[in-house]
Structures are given as C-alpha cells and as structure tokens.
A and B are shown apart, each in its own frame.
Chain A
C-alpha cells in the first residue's frame, strides 16, 4: 500500500464527516436566511477555487467567470421547468443529475472560450473572456421562451426554479471537491505542466508540454466547477435572473483569486470567505434601537483621513524603514492603534463643523465603498496577496502544532 493512502483516506472521511456535521449544525441552529449565507459562501469558495485553476495555476487571464456560473444556473433552471414533473428522479437525485449536466454544459462553454486562448494571450484573452461573459448575460436576458400553455420563462425578469433544494452539506462537499481536484492536479504531472505554462509558455512547449491541450483542459475543468456552483445556486435560491450574474461578480471572484497570492488554493478559500462575509456583516449591522445604523459625515471624514495616514505609514515602514524586525512589528502595531485614536479624535474634532456633523450616511450603503477601498488598500500594502504562497497541508498543521513526524510518512 502506498504511504499516502491512509492520509488520503483520512482526508476524504474527514471531509465527508465535516460536511455532514456542518449540515446538521446548520439545520439545528441557523435560521433560513443564515443558512442561505452559508450556502452562498460555499458557492463563492467554489467559484474562487475554480477560477484559481484557470487564472492562478494555468496563468490564463480570465475575467468572465460569472458566465459559466450563469450557464450552470440556467441549465438547471430550464431543465427543471420543462422536465422536472415528468422525470423519474426527484429531490436530491434530480439535483445530482442536474449537477452533472450543468457541469457538462459549462465545460462545453469553457471549451468554446478556451479555444481563443490558444491564439490570444494576456490582456487580449482577458477582454475576450469578459466579452464572452457579457454575451452570455445579454443573450440569456433576451431569450424568453413561451410554453404552449402561454407561460413565459426566462428573460430579463428572471425565472423561478422549482423545486427548492437547499443542502448546505452538499454545497460544501462540492466546494471541497473543487479544492481537492485543484490540489491534486497541482501535485500531478498535468498540474506541473499547467504551472510551467503559467511561467513560460514557449519554454514549456519546447520541453514537450502540450500547451494547447492543457490550456483548454484548465478552462474546461474550471468552468465545469463554476457551472456546478450555478446549478446549486439555482436550486438553493429557487430563483435566477440575469442581474444575479453581473460583470461585477466576475471582478469580485477575480479579486478573491488575486488577493490569495500566487496560485495558492488555501488563500483563495480564505479570501473568498472574507470578501463574502465582510459585506454581508456590514449589511446586517443595526443600531441599538433596531433601525439602520448611520454615521455622520464627521466620523466618516475622520476615519477616511486616519486610514489614509495609516496606509502611508505602513507603506513607509514596509518599503523605506531599514530597522530590525521587532521595531518594524512595533511600528505596525503603533500605526494600527494610532489610526484608531486619530480616527476617533478627528471624528470628534470634525463634529464641530455643522456641515459635516449634519450629513449622515447609512452603513449599509457604505459597504461596497468599504469593500472597494479595502481592495485598493490591500493591493497597496501587500501586492503579492495576503497569504503569499503559503499553502495548507497536513504537514504544515503538524509543524504548527509542533508534532514531529518522520519525514517519509508524508505523501
């Protein structure tokens, strides 16, 4: 027996148990709206990991990932509308069948998009993927079929997908599958071929890598997982419309991928979760009396100035300061607490100007502004991505917990 087999088996069992446990926990403790958030988070993780395969591992610059998500969702939507009542499969069986079909359709679309990537590179490829995403959205928006019974399906207003099947565990199992596929691909010879294409296409072609085949394969696998996520979205939300798949969604997923550092899967997952939950958290903020939380213009301006000052300070410490590591860390800490103090103080000082203290803004409306601003700030402070190249593995966990294991036991 290969040495890695027990670890792999343990990982699979742990993954299954974890998803089952998550499902049980969600059903027991969470309200319906909160379960929805957990589902969406899982879908975002899937999207980020699958785009990471195309963008981070194969190095093909794709910014139209929402298209594949949409293709999956609409495949499920139309099929459910026309065939669910006659089908022998019901419930979860139907969902699994749809998952397979949605993945296949999206992979086909990935093939169509992957083909131009053979001739185009860099920004040209990016704009073609962006264009493909927009074409899909516009076409889906323009098609509204009318059934013989006179019902309208699809179109700009969207369509409802019956039945509603929301299984938190399945969504996360799918996300884990995406993670496992990309992780194992990275360790295999095919993955190495992809990595070599990312680093230098011409050199890897000279070394005998089948560049065209590998590139298209990366596109197909990545889009298949996005399509599967779309199917899960359609059946979990029970409603889909073209406005759920805007260009911004592609950008946000791309951001999740870039923030993670170069090609790292762990980072994609962490970034996806953070970027998904922070805006949702801000959306849910309420004042003590239950009304929407507002901030005055004075507080806002104070915080903006404090954040700008902090960014300048951190950049100075990171790029100009040549002191020992300890002073540097102390400097970061001082900047953090200093910014908190300065923000408070400026907010108080500005509250004496009636023009500033009079204006008030809802935090809910601020959330996308905060999202965009933090994106720029993270890029300014850590352009290599938050987690850099660090990657989670059992080995790393063991080292972190200071468990010594003989080196050979690691697969």
Chain B
C-alpha cells in the first residue's frame, strides 16, 4: 500500500518543471537572504533577536506603496491614465524604502534597545517583542489596510516571462512533433471539410465518423510526441521581475560584503561582533557601530520589501512582515546566526526547500517546511551550517 502510494506520488510529480522551480526557489530565497542579513548582523553585534525586523520590512513595503501613489499609480486612477514606469521610478521607490526603514531601525535601537543593553538578555527580547507588536497594531490603526492595498502592477516595467532552454530535445523527437502536428492539422481540415457536407452535426455519416476518429487519433499522437519532447528537453521559465530581484539583491549583498571586509567601519563591525567589550576598550565607538548595523540591516529589509511588493504584487497589510520575518530569522539561524554568508546560504536553501514542497503538491505545509529543515539541521550542526559551534569552556 505504502509502495503504491510512493509510486503514485512520483508519477504525479512533473519533472519537466523542476529546473524552473529550483530557479524560482533561488529567487525567492534571495529575498529571505536580504531580510536574514538584517537579523544576523544585529545578532552578531548585540546578541539580540530583533523581533521588530519583520515589522521594519512591513513599513518598507508601505513606503514603497506610498511613493508609487505619489508617482500617480493610485488605485482610483483608471488604467489608461497611468503614467509609464521606468527604472528611475523603481530606484526612487527603493531608496525611499531603504531610507525610511533605516530611520525606523535607528529609532528602535536608540529608544528601545539601547537602554536595555546592560540588562538581562531576555528583557531586551521582550522589549523587541513589544516593539514588534506596537508596530503591527499601531500600523493597524494608521496605515491603509481595508481592503489590503496592492502595488499597481504597472509600476513594474518587467512583466514578461523569460524562457531559457537548457537542454535541447534530440532532433528526431522535435521532427516527430512537427510531423504529428502537420498530420493533426491535415486531418482536422479534412474533418471540417466533411462537416460542411453533413446534414446533422451530431449524427454523422460513416464517412464523417471515420474522419472524426482519424482527427482524434492524430491529436492524441501529437500530445504524446509533445510530452516525449518536453521530458527530454529542460527549459527554465522565470518572470523578469524575479530576475530583477535577484540582480538587485546580489548587488546589495556585494556592496555589503565590500563594506564589511574592506572599510574601517566594516572592520570595527567585525571587531564588535567578535567581542563587544574588548572592541570598546580598543577605541571602537560601539554606539556608532551598532547604529550603523541597524541602518544597514533595516535598509536591506526595506529594499527587500520594496522588491516583493513591486515585483511579486502581494497585498500589503500591517502583518505583511510577520511570516517573511520569521522565515528569514529561521534562515539566519540555519546558516549560523551572526554569520553573513551563512544568512545568504540559509535564505536560499529556505527558498528552494519551500518552492520544492509546493511543487510536490504539499502547499499547505509550505510554511512548516522551513522549520522542519531548521530542526533537522540544528540537530546535526547545533551552530548552523556555517556557524561555529564552539565548545564551551569553564
């Protein structure tokens, strides 16, 4: 019984779309990675789970929405009067989101987390939960949410779908499809010709029935040939907007890497994350570094929020950041929290795992798979994939 169930499960999977799904998973993962970077950087510096990060992301999405309204993409404008969107529009939206998020992040750090820095860590965690709830429910009071607004799809200039053939089918399969298609067209034409002579369309003469059956047979052969060709060739279909997300995320991550590895600020940041107190003793202005960390982390979340809101067109609500926030946090832990490459790796793994679960037909469990992966990984590597699980010394 179980064997049969396994077979039917395999049979129901469409392996032709698998490469597309993996690519889309990576693209989804890029967003998780962007948000996870914010979690992991703050954790690296302060050892604090910044629960309000998801809400910062939500505010970024709203900012992008408001900027697009200011550009004239309001929901009450009829479609033929909408302005054209360009790359510049998108850039302005992204910069505005990043700026607002960075501002919110700095305010949260200054007024909620800094006073708690010398207290037990659980108190700052509760403060973080408080800030997160405050932004959610406060947003529910002041932000438009009924009905949940969506970004106008015309804001996104990249709406086409790109198709890329990775492996071509063998020549004979392609010609077989061509032949079958011609045969199908001929028999269809013959049948239509015959249909004009028939008196009753629903009660065909023997000659008409013969032609009709020949037409059905030709169509069936065409479908078979096509499916043989499709299994043999590998194509990837990706929305252009998702590619834009990937390009922008990679650019931002590259900038972050350069900043962390090759600037004095980046060096100070690494020092603070290694040892907070020693870094302070060595003359690092710790408060400034923490502020910069919040600026960068929140700005990345803002960029991610703007891109999901624009390119994926999900509807925005005050709870927009809860699930992405939790999943990104899981991604950060998966990669090893406090570790920047780990966050990117974790985010991409998370995106792929989730997309594959949906592909396998278990979309109702898509939100749970993130946690299952996390628990399994942590059982074998308690410090995360790239994290160091240092042995505790007494």
Contacts and interface: CB of A to CB of B under 8 A. Distances in A.
A248 B133 contact: yes
B112 A366 contact: no
Given A254-B129, A376-B130, A138 B367 contact: yes
Contact of A123 (B120, B136, B337, B374): B337
Nearest to A200: B394
B326 A255 contact: no
Interface stretch (A70-78, A124-132, A167-175, A283-291): A124-132
A379 B130 contact: yes
Given A139-B368, A365-B141, A119 B379 contact: yes
Contact of A368 (B137, B326, B375): B137
A17 interface: no
A356 interface: no
B129 A375 contact: yes
B394 A142 contact: no
B134 interface: yes
Contact of A376 (B43, B119, B122, B131): B131
A202 interface: yes
Nearest to A206: B394
B80 interface: no
B140 A365 contact: yes
A392 interface: no
A134 interface: yes
B145 to A, nearest CB: 11
B257 to A, nearest CB: 25
The size class of the interface chain B forms with chain A is 35 or more
Interface string B106-143: 00000010011001101111110111111011101100
Nearest to A131: B371
B137 A379 contact: no
B123 A141 contact: no
Contacts, number: 126
B137 A116 contact: no
Nearest to A382: B123
Contacts of B136: 368, 372
A375 B372 contact: no
B49 interface: yes
Interface in B295-339: 322, 326, 329-330, 333, 337
* Residue of B129, B134, B364, B384 contacting most chain A CB atoms (<10 Å): B129
B378 interface: yes
Contact of A135 (B141, B364, B372): B372
A131 B115 contact: no
Contact of A127 (B120, B123, B333, B383): B333
Contacts of B382: 119-120, 124
Judged by DSSP, the binding face of B is helix
Given A134-B326, A142-B364, A383-B119, A372 B133 contact: yes
Contacts of B329: 127
A313 interface: no
A255 B137 contact: no
Nearest to B43: A123
A350 interface: no
A371 B365 CA distance: 32
Contacts of A361: 141
Interface string A311-336: 00001000000000000000000000
Nearest to A116: B379
A380 B126 CA distance: 10
Interface in B124-179: 124-127, 129-134, 136-138, 140-141
B364 A138 contact: yes
B378 to A, nearest CB: 6
A369 interface: yes
Nearest to A119: B382
B392 interface: yes
Contacts of A255: 126, 129-130
B116 A380 contact: yes
Contacts of A128: 374-375, 378
A134 B323 CA distance: 11
Given A375-B133, A383-B120, A124 B378 contact: yes
A97 interface: no
A132 B49 CA distance: 18
Given A127-B330, A128-B374, A134-B326, A376 B365 contact: no
A376 B364 contact: no
Contacts of A315: 115
B375 A131 contact: yes
A375 B368 contact: no
Given A142-B364, A365-B140, A375-B130, 13 more contacts: A116-B378, A116-B379, A123-B337, A128-B378, A130-B326, A131-B372, A138-B367, A139-B368, A247-B322, A371-B133, A375-B126, A376-B127, A380-B127
7 contacts: A124-B333, A131-B372, A365-B140, A368-B137, A375-B126, A375-B129, A384-B119
Q: Which 3 A-B pairs have the closest CB atoms?
A: A131-B371, A375-B130, A372-B133
